[in-house]
């Protein structure tokens, strides 16, 4: 019998023996949000008529794109089927599934004792299933293997139960089978969570220590911080201290989510809930930090706290220069809710005033750009994303390069670039094409394992710069969509990297500068110069386009001159027709940027993004 809100125990200081903290980990689209929805319904915390799809994904973009960006926690009362009178509290912590947000995933995992490992019964294990499973194992979590979507005609539960059982080391019969869509098997899953996941252990009378696993900005309430109490207790109205910064705040409100906020007097050992202190900026309440009481607080923080590090940078410029103040304001607002977003003003000779913005990865970049355009109505030019390089000069100085045009001139000793460990899962028939792709992207094979007869896991070390553009698209097209990819940063390596500049009519265009491997520089220069010749219209004078490394020109094309006389075709005196043509010409000009003396269309800046010859890539077009 599912519990109802009426027999929920008091929200604060629940007996830890009755608490189970868990999260759901899954590859994108394997049904995590749908399963969470079913759990909300089955435990009675959301009434049928209020139910809407993906209840927990609150951000519009999350719902539209069907992805989870920020994690959320929700408290579910559940009396197991064999103990109907004993209501337990299941705290479900939703985790983002995408590789860009791995740090948030690992913080959420650290707040749990168990995890539901959810796998699509028609797809099987994918790269992010593995990546998240390894994180869960590192955190010593109890793993409940579950196959989802068993209602699908294409489901192969027997085959994938075997695969999953091999992976987690259990019997195939112990793999649960559910349909998050129809609800079949979800009650058995909740029973299993109560039975298998250990209750939290903590010292009730020790100084309070709570781990922050998420914090979100709410325009009415300020920052809402999600915590899991490990030791002691936090009480309403007390002063709390953030251990990484030492900042203290008054605890204005404390409570739990069911799934709406429900205020309480405090939170005790093992409990999961929210705190409100009135701060306005999530950077004051950072994921991974430890909260303690100001008075007789703890001296040792929990686990390691790590600042999220931007991995990919891109220049964002308003198409209309007068929108610059709005862009700054919009970035300020987004940063209130996104501690990982960093930016600083930047000026480009070609694009004017803008910002160099650091992101966790490409999805993060896409989401931010889309929000800037959609929520703030800005038209933006985004320069090609690049990674961060470290350059050591012969004179011993060191430069961190986040913008290719700032790559130092002069005598360079070494250039370091970030590398990742990539895991690719695919049917074994594609091994050849995957290896070929990784090889051309300067990859080093680390190893390969068969998960089952026809599915293989391939591990590579790859430069991050080689995968930030279109690696995933290429991988998908070479494997007919069957491959999945996950990667994690593993440090840096020295490489022979050079800066390729593009000169238009003799002037260097900073927005087109790129850093590439020495062996690829020539091909890159030739390709870009050819593409720009196609995209830049003829001007009143001849325009040479050159690619150069330092002062050495490696490729050249020329745009021939024309006199663009739109009136040439209008004989006679039809003045209104003439005016129309002139107006049309003026409008056409608005979409151009003057770069030195040359008019460059917006598409040209996007063209740098794509590595094929078909014009701009999908990513740059939005
Ligand atoms: N047939 C069927 N479809 C399902 C089931 N569970 C989920 N789906 C569908 O699978 C798709 C992905 O489900 P989501 O719940 O959004 O997946 P997710 O894992 O939360 O995705 P992210 O939030 O991006 O990580 C949606 O179209 C769901 O309707 C199921 O049990 N059966």
In this prediction the ipTM stands at 0.97
Q: Binding site annotation covers 617?
A: no
CA–centroid distance, 28 to ligand 1, in Å, is 8
Residues 6+ apart with CB under 8 A from 284: 223, 242, 245, 247, 249
**Number of Cβ within a 10 Å radius of residue 236:** 17
* Predicted pLDDT at 57: 52
- Region of 307 on the Ramachandran plot (φ > 0 left; ψ -120 to 50 alpha; else beta): beta
* Predicted pLDDT at 67: 42
Percentage, residues of the chain above pLDDT 70:
83
* Predicted pLDDT at 194: 96
Alpha-carbon separation of residue 371 from 43, 330, 385, 411, 602 (angstroms): 34, 9, 17, 42, 20
CA–centroid distance, 497 to ligand 1, in Å, is 42
Q: How far apart are CA 88 and CA 80, in angstroms?
A: 8
The partner residues of 492 in beta bridges, in order of sequence, read: 418
Q: How far apart are CA 241 and CA 225, in angstroms?
A: 13
Q: Binding site annotation covers 574?
A: no
Q: Is the CB of 43 under 6 A from ligand 1?
A: no
**Number of Cβ within a 10 Å radius of residue 137:** 13
Q: How far apart are CA 426 and CA 429, in angstroms?
A: 8
Give the model confidence (pLDDT) of 390-448 as tens digits.
999 999 999 999 888 889 988 899 999 999 999 999 999 999 999 999 999 999 999 99
CA–centroid distance, 599 to ligand 1, in Å, is 47
Q: What pTM did the predictor assign? A: 0.73
Give the model confidence (pLDDT) of 293-312 as tens digits.
998 888 888 876 667 778 88
Q: Is the CB of 499 under 6 A from ligand 1?
A: no
**Is it the case that residue 97 has pLDDT exceeding 70?**
no
Of residues 64 and 331, more confidently modeled: 331
Q: Is the CB of 497 under 6 A from ligand 1?
A: no
* Predicted pLDDT at 330: 92
The partner residues of 212 in beta bridges, in order of sequence, read: 227
**Is it the case that residue 229 has pLDDT exceeding 80?**
yes
**Is it the case that residue 572 has pLDDT exceeding 90?**
no
Strands 592-595 and 342-348: unpaired
CA–centroid distance, 121 to ligand 1, in Å, is 12
* Predicted pLDDT at 279: 87
Helix, strand, coil shares, percent, the chain, to 5: 30, 30, 40
Q: How far apart are CA 193 and CA 22, in angstroms?
A: 8
Residues 6+ apart with CB under 8 A from 433: 478, 479
Q: How far apart are CA 498 and CA 495, in angstroms?
A: 9
Q: Which atom of ligand 1 is nearest to the CA of 96?
A: 25
**Is it the case that residue 567 has pLDDT exceeding 70?**
no
Q: How far apart are CA 592 and CA 123, in angstroms?
A: 46
Q: How far apart are CA 281 and CA 116, in angstroms?
A: 32
Residues 6+ apart with CB under 8 A from 361: 98, 99, 100, 311, 312, 468
Q: How far apart are CA 87 and CA 77, in angstroms?
A: 6
364: enclosing H helix or E strand: helix 362-376
Q: Binding site annotation covers 564?
A: no
Q: Binding site annotation covers 33?
A: yes
Confidence of residue 578 (pLDDT cuts 50, 70, 90): low
Percentage, residues of the chain above pLDDT 90:
43
Q: Which atom of ligand 1 is nearest to the CA of 57?
A: 23
Q: Binding site annotation covers 29?
A: yes
Q: Is the CB of 31 under 6 A from ligand 1?
A: yes
Q: Is the CB of 128 under 6 A from ligand 1?
A: no
Q: Is the CB of 151 under 6 A from ligand 1?
A: yes
| Phi (first) and psi of residue 109, to 5 degrees | -65, -35
Work out the average pLDDT over 229-250.
93
Question: Which residue of 55, 66, 97, 186 sits with most ligand 1 atoms within 8 Å of its CB, as the best mutation to test the pocket?
Answer: 66
Q: Is the CB of 149 under 6 A from ligand 1?
A: yes
Of residues 343 and 602, more confidently modeled: 343
* Predicted pLDDT at 320: 83
End-to-end CA distance of the chain: 49
For residue 364, the number of C-alpha atoms closer than 13 Å in the C-beta half-sphere is 29
Give the model confidence (pLDDT) of 13-33 as tens digits.
788 999 999 999 888 889 988
| Residues 151/179, Cβ–Cβ less than 8 Å | yes
Q: Which atom of ligand 1 is nearest to the CA of 178?
A: 31
Strands 19-26 and 88-94: parallel
Q: Is the CB of 30 under 6 A from ligand 1?
A: yes
Work out the average pLDDT over 471-484.
84
CA–centroid distance, 148 to ligand 1, in Å, is 9
Computed over every residue of the chain, the mean pLDDT equals: 83
Confidence of residue 1 (pLDDT cuts 50, 70, 90): very low
CA–CA–CA angle 74, 75, 79 (5° rounding): 140
**Number of Cβ within a 10 Å radius of residue 69:** 20
3-class DSSP assignment, residue 492: strand
* Predicted pLDDT at 586: 55
Pick from 156-170, 185-199, 212-226, 249-263 the range whose average pLDDT is largest: 185-199
| Residues 123/30, Cβ–Cβ less than 8 Å | yes
**Is it the case that residue 2 has pLDDT exceeding 90?**
no
By C-alpha distance, which of 115, 142, 140, 139 is closest to 129? 115
Q: Is the CB of 451 under 6 A from ligand 1?
A: no
* Predicted pLDDT at 192: 96
382-386, 400-404, 586-590: segment of lowest average pLDDT: 586-590
CA–centroid distance, 388 to ligand 1, in Å, is 35
By C-alpha distance, which of 283, 259, 264 is closest to 275? 264
In Å, the largest CA–CA distance within the chain is: 96
- Region of 393 on the Ramachandran plot (φ > 0 left; ψ -120 to 50 alpha; else beta): beta
Q: 157-168 and 127-138 helices cross at what angle (nearest 10)?
A: 30
CA–centroid distance, 30 to ligand 1, in Å, is 5
| Residues 620/610, Cβ–Cβ less than 8 Å | yes
Confidence of residue 592 (pLDDT cuts 50, 70, 90): low
CA–centroid distance, 102 to ligand 1, in Å, is 20
162: enclosing H helix or E strand: helix 157-168
3-class DSSP assignment, residue 401: strand
* Predicted pLDDT at 577: 62
The partner residues of 357 in beta bridges, in order of sequence, read: 314, 343
By C-alpha distance, which of 118, 115, 114, 184 is closest to 147? 118
Q: How far apart are CA 353 and CA 593, in angstroms?
A: 13
Of residues 611 and 278, more confidently modeled: 278
Q: Which atom of ligand 1 is nearest to the CA of 28?
A: 25
586: enclosing H helix or E strand: helix 575-590
Q: Is the CB of 507 under 6 A from ligand 1?
A: no
Work out the average pLDDT over 178-191.
96
Q: Which atom of ligand 1 is nearest to the CA of 118?
A: 19
Of residues 618 and 285, more confidently modeled: 285
**Is it the case that residue 4 has pLDDT exceeding 50?**
no
Q: Is the CB of 618 under 6 A from ligand 1?
A: no
User: Whose Cα sits closest to atom 32 in ligand 1?
Assistant: 149
| Phi (first) and psi of residue 277, to 5 degrees | -120, -5
Work out the average pLDDT over 562-590.
57
Alpha-carbon separation of residue 331 from 281, 319, 398, 496, 622 (angstroms): 13, 16, 29, 35, 18
**Is it the case that residue 7 has pLDDT exceeding 50?**
no
Q: Which atom of ligand 1 is nearest to the CA of 148?
A: 31
Pick from 102-106, 487-491, 495-499 the range whose average pLDDT is largest: 495-499
Confidence of residue 620 (pLDDT cuts 50, 70, 90): very low
Confidence of residue 384 (pLDDT cuts 50, 70, 90): confident
Give the model confidence (pLDDT) of 116-159 as tens digits.
999 999 998 888 788 788 888 888 999 999 999 999 999 999 99
Q: Binding site annotation covers 431?
A: no
Question: Which residue of 23, 29, 156 sits with most ligand 1 atoms within 8 Å of its CB, as the best mutation to test the pocket?
Answer: 29
Q: How far apart are CA 68 and CA 32, in angstroms?
A: 9
């Amino acid at each position: 019998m599912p519990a109802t809100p009426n027999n929920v125990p008091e929200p604060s200081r629940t007996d830890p023996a009755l608490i189970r903290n868990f999260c759901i980990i899954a590859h994108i689209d394997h049904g995590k949000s749908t399963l969470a929805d079913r759990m909300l319904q089955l435990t009675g915390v959301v009434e049928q008529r209020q139910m809407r799809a993906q209840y927990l994904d609150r951000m519009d973009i999350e719902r539209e794109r069907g992805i989870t960006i920020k994690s959320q926690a929700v408290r579910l009362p559940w009396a197991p089927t064999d103990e109907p009178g004993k209501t337990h509290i299941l705290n479900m912590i939703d985790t983002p599934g995408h590789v860009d947000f791995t740090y948030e995933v690992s913080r959420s995992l650290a707040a749990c004792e168990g995890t539901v490992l959810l796998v699509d019964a028609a797809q099987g294990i994918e790269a992010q299933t593995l990546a998240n499973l390894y994180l869960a194992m590192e955190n010593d979590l109890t793993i409940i293997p579950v196959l989802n979507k068993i209602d699908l005609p294409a489901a192969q539960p027997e085959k994938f139960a075997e695969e999953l059982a091999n992976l987690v080391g259990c019997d195939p019969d112990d793999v649960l089978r559910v349909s998050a869509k129809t609800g079949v098997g979800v009650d058995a899953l909740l029973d299993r969570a109560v039975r298998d996941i250990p209750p939290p252990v903590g010292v009730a009378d020790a100084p309070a220590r709570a781990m922050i696993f998420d914090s979100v900005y709410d325009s009415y309430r300020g920052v809402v911080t999600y915590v899991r109490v490990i030791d002691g207790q936090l009480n309403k109205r007390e002063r709390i201290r953030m251990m990484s910064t030492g900042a203290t705040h008054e605890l204005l409100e404390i409570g739990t989510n069911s799934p709406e906020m429900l205020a309480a007097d405090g939170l005790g050992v093992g409990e999961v809930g929210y705190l409100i202190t009135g701060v306005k900026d999530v950077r004051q309440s950072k994921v991974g930090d430890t909260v303690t009481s100001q008075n007789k607080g703890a001296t040792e923080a929990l686990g390691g706290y790590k600042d999220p590090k931007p991995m990919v940078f891109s220049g964002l410029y308003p198409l209309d220069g007068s929108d610059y103040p709005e862009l700054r304001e919009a970035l300020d607002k987004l940063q209130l809710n996104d501690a990982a977003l960093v930016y600083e003003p930047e000026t480009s000779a070609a694009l004017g005033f803008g910002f160099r913005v650091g992101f966790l990865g490409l999805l993060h970049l896409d989401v931010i750009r889309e929000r800037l355009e959609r929520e703030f109505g800005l038209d933006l030019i985004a320069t090609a994303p690049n990674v961060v390089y470290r350059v050591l000069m012969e004179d011993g100085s060191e430069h961190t390069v986040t913008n290719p045009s700032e790559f130092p001139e002069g005598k360079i000793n070494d250039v370091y670039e970030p590398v990742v460990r990539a895991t690719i899962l695919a049917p074994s028939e594609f091994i050849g094409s995957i290896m070929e792709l990784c090889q051309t992207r300067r990859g080093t094979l680390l190893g390969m394992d068969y998960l089952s007869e026809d599915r293989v896991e391939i591990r590579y070390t790859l430069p991050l710069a080689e995968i930030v553009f279109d690696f995933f698209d290429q991988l998908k097209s070479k494997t007919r969509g069957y491959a999945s990819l996950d990667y994690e940063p593993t440090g840096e390596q020295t490489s022979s990297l050079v800066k390729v500049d593009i000169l238009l009519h003799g002037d260097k265009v900073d927005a087109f500068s790129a850093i590439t491997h020495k062996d690829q520089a020539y091909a890159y220069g030739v390709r870009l110069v050819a593409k720009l010749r196609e995209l830049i219209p003829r001007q009143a004078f001849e325009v040479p386009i050159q690619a150069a490394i330092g002062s050495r020109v490696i490729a050249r094309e020329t745009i021939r001159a024309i006199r663009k006389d739109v009136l040439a075709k209008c004989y006679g005196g039809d003045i209104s027709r003439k005016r129309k043509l002139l107006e049309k010409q003026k409008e056409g000009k608005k979409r151009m940027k003057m770069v030195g003396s040359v008019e460059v269309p917006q598409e040209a800046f996007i063209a740098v993004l794509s590595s094929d010859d078909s014009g701009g890539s999908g990513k740059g077009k939005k």
